[in-house]
Amino acid sequence: MSKFTAVVTEDVAANRLLSKTVGAEGITLAATTAGGTPDFRSTGRLKKDEEITVTINNSPSWLVEAGEDITAGATVAAGTGGVVVASATGFGYIVKAVKAGELASVVRSTTGGGAGQPGPKGDKGATGPTGPTGPAGPKGDKGDTGATGAAGAKGDKGDKGDPGEVTKAQLDALTARVTALEAKG
């Protein structure tokens, strides 16, 4: 962790982007101008002509006040007064959507001199190998019953079946019927 002292050249609200200038009078800090590249962020309210100690902790993300509603993943740049605003080019992006005035978690993707001019688009790469087959999905709903098809051709006559044996219960039932029929007479 590194530290240095600097003089603030204007009143700056907490959670705003700051830019550093080095001159004959030493190191000064001010809110980053719209479109400028920030060097730091304010963690508290700063007063004009105040001498402060700046602690550099190399955090890859900063909490900075949003100057407008910003969607998650949007690239951000410095807006007026050191807030962050959505931009086609910028110094980082936000991880969660925010409304104007809320604190945006900004992941810094450039440092120092800021983003350069985009390079030319590269050639399309070769198609990669096919990945493994994924697991089978859940069983679908039962489909509608289809239309009844035409009757098939009559089959061949089957073999004569085994006559089998008559059980005592079958014999008793048959005997009871015969006796009943004879009684009617």
- Look at residue 110 and tell me whether its pLDDT is greater than 80: no
pLDDT single digits (tens) 123-146: 888 998 998 998 998 998 988 888
Q: What is the pLDDT of residue 160?
A: 83
> What token pair was written down for 138?
């859940």
Residue with tokens 């493994």: 132
Q: Check residue 71 and give its pLDDT.
A: 96
Fill in the amino acid letter for 50. E
Q: Residue 113 pLDDT more than 70?
A: no
Contact 96, 72 (CB under 8 A): yes
Q: How far apart are CA 97 and CA 130, in angstroms?
A: 35
| Most confident of the following: 91-95, 113-117, 151-155, 173-177 | 91-95
Rounded to whole angstroms, the Cα distance separating 106 from 93 reads 6
- Minimum mean pLDDT among 103-107, 148-152, 162-166: which range? 162-166
Handedness of CA 39, 43, 49, 54 (dihedral sign): negative
pLDDT tops 90 at residue 149 = no
Supply 13's token pair: 């609200």
Confidence band, pLDDT 50/70/90 cuts, at residue 1: confident
Instruction: Please name the residues in contact with 135: beta carbons below 8 A apart, sequence gap of 6 or more.
Output: none
Residues contacting residue 20 through CB under 8 Å, at least 6 positions apart: 6, 27, 28, 29, 39, 40
Q: What pLDDT score does 159 carry?
A: 84
- Which tens digits make up the pLDDT trace of 39-93? 999 999 999 999 999 988 888 899 999 999 999 999 999 999 999 999 998 999 9
Confidence at residue 17, expressed as pLDDT on a 0 to 100 scale: 95
Q: What are phi and psi for residue 2, nearest 5 degrees? A: -110, 155
What are the residue ranges spanned by the domains of the chain? 2-108
Q: Which of 29, 25, 51, 27 is nearest to 40 (CA)?
A: 29
Report the phi/psi class of residue 98: left, alpha or beta, with left for phi > 0 and alpha for psi in -120 to 50.
beta
Evaluate if residue 6 carries a pLDDT over 90: yes
pLDDT reported for residue 91: 92
Q: What share of the chain in percent tops pLDDT 70? A: 95
Mean predicted lDDT score pLDDT of the chain: 89
Give the per-residue pLDDT at 167: 83
